[in-house]
Amino acid sequence: MENKNLIDLEVMTPQQIDKIIKKAQKIMKNPSDYRHSCDSKILATLFYEPSTRTQMSFQTAMLKLGGRTIGFDNPMNSSVSKGESLKDTITIIGGYADIIAIRHPIEGSATAASLYAGVPVINCGDGGHLHPTQTLTDIVTLSCEKGKLDNLKIGVCGDLLNGRTVHSLIKTLAKYKNNSFVLISTKELSIPLYIIDILEKNNCKYEFSDNLAESIGGLDVLYMTRIQRERFASEAEYEAQKNVFVLDKEKLAAAKDDMIILHPLPRNNEITVDIDDDPRALYFKQAQYGMYGRMALILLLLQDDEFFIDNRETTVSEHKCSNPKCITQQEDYLPNLSYEKKGMVMCDFCDKRMD
């Protein structure tokens, strides 16, 4: 089965990912060649959660391609505030727009939207689950700045439990040859086990660290992340975690000259502002690369008849997913879609085990 939704980069082959990167690089070289590519097309940006970069870079991407945008950035200003279901909202918007970019606080919501849209759906972040177009941003940046996506030692630091950008990035880079990972976090915010499974399945080397200063020396890439305050059960738990890892000039002194520093942004205190002028600090440039990656993605999804993304095989399970953060817990009309992994039954929406 093939589709035109971007829910999870994991189901894409390196060749498909390479096609997006190459297209983004072509657009970067001659952006004016593409200014009428999406004339008369409409992108809907449905942001049920706050965003600066993802929402505006998608809107800018469509405008630069000659298309137009509709949408909301606060669901309380839409009929969601009157209790409209995700299914009904998406069904309606799918009749207005040619492509939908959605961010939602609940895991699996982009997959749910894709069942009813009738037009391509792009996952712009679903709860603490995935954020594939951030990963697209990250890999376009790596391709342009490092010239490769393989043979890299990547340190990921911060909130590895709730940071959906980290999950998507590791899942994608694990597919490329000889990448290794240093997972720098507190015990409480360590990476979910399903990501470790993916690293093992791909024979990637990985190590755990709770000390950024000690781990920074051998890295090619340091990917810093924000502690995701909005995902904590209590303020006290957040307070205990914030500011544990701060990249400052003193720690950076031990890094390689060609290590690059990435961050999906927004930042809180995890990178001190005096690092912004260091040539290794690429996080603002990274956000610009993201816009070109999103232009490439829109073009391929709308205009390239050969650009399909593989669907995994699913079946309807007898049981509902028990993950309290899964969209199936909120929107009870959704089918109990599941897939099999290593003999286990997994929820197709949130990727948590169902059996």
Residue 105 in contact with ligand CP, rule: CB under 6 A: no
**Closest-CA residue to 99 (of 136, 134, 68):** 68
Footprint (CB under 6 A) of ligand CP, residues 54-73? 54-55
Residue 284 in contact with ligand CP, rule: CB under 6 A: no
The string over 86-123, giving b where at least 16 C-beta atoms fall within 10 Å of a residue's C-beta and e elsewhere, is bbebbeebbeebbbbbbbbbbbbbbbbbbbbbebbbbb
Cα maximum dimension of the chain:
56
Give me the least distance between CB of 24 and ligand CP, in Å please: 17
Residue 9 in contact with ligand CP, rule: CB under 6 A: no
Give me the least distance between CB of 41 and ligand CP, in Å please: 22
Residue 102 in contact with ligand CP, rule: CB under 6 A: no
The string over 160-187, giving b where at least 16 C-beta atoms fall within 10 Å of a residue's C-beta and e elsewhere, is bbbbbbbbbbbbbbbbbeebbbbbbbbe
116 to 155: interface string for ligand CP, x by CB under 6 A: ------------------x---------------------
**Closest-CA residue to 327 (of 165, 110, 130, 123):** 110
Query: Are 338 and 354 spatial neighbours (Cβ–Cβ below 8 Å)?
Result: yes
- Candidates 266, 303, 333, 340: give the one binding ligand CP (CB under 6 A): 266
Q: Integer distance in angstroms from the first to the last C-alpha of the chain?
A: 25
Give me the least distance between CB of 50 and ligand CP, in Å please: 7
| Closer Cβ to ligand CP, 55 or 89, answer by number | 55
| Closer Cβ to ligand CP, 134 or 336, answer by number | 134
Determine the Cα–Cα distance for residues 109 and 328; give it in Å rounded to an integer.
9
Task: Please count the residues of this chain forming the interface with ligand CP, following the rule CB under 6 A.
Answer: 9
Distance of CA 148 to the CA centre of its chain: 20
Distance of CA 174 to the CA centre of its chain: 15
| Closer Cβ to ligand CP, 185 or 286, answer by number | 286
**Closest-CA residue to 290 (of 302, 281, 298):** 298
Span near ligand CP by CB under 6 A; candidates 4-12, 196-204, 259-267, 305-313: 259-267
Span near ligand CP by CB under 6 A; candidates 45-53, 166-174, 180-188, 230-238: 45-53
Residue 217 in contact with ligand CP, rule: CB under 6 A: no
Name 154's bridge partners: 181, 221
- Candidates 158, 163, 264, 293: give the one binding ligand CP (CB under 6 A): 264
Give me the least distance between CB of 93 and ligand CP, in Å please: 19
Q: Return residues touching ligand CP (CB under 6 A).
A: 51-55, 134, 264-266
